[in-house]
Amino acid sequence: MAHNRLIYIPLGGAGEVGMNMYVYGFGPVGLERYIIVDLGVTFPDMEHSPGVDLILPDIRWIEERKDRLDGIFITHAHEDHVGALGHLFSRLDAPIFARKFTAHIAKLKMEEHGQDINKINIVEEMPSQVALGSFK
């Protein structure tokens, strides 16, 4: 019998300020289904990174498993939570979920990079929730 496991992988944001991106997975080992929470940027320290405008999370791990990516949740509209959406969305191509104001900012980010804004789903105010795979 296959046992389910819960996976938490910070691809950015853990132990640092900015670039928030967290992958959660659940299911049988090797067959987990995933969600992403936030897709943000961080801003470089000009002393150590001159000429760099933004730093994006390294999404290669989840990109290799995007066939099992069920959705992207954006918690709020700060750059360190939504700023990488337009830059990286084409490499992930999963439905996006956000509350109304955050969805508006996400649409601007997507439009700026020629992405399909119809992938953004507005989640109604609390207590409304989204159930996606094993996650709610």
**Secondary-structure breakdown of the chain: helix, strand, coil percentages, each rounded to the nearest 5:** 25, 30, 45
User: For each successive 10 residues of the chain (136 residues), what is the average pLDDT?
Assistant: 89 84 96 97 80 88 97 96 96 97 97 96 93 92
CB 21 within 8 A of CB 84: yes
Six-digit token pair at 8? 């938490």
Phi and psi (nearest 5°) for 79? -55, -35
Which residue, 119, 37, 39, 33, is CA-closest to 69?
A: 33
Residue 21 and residue 40 in contact, taking contact as beta carbons nearer than 8 Å: yes
Contact at 8 Å (CB) between 81 and 38? Answer: yes
Distances (CA, A) of 88 to 1, 13, 68, 75: 37, 16, 17, 17
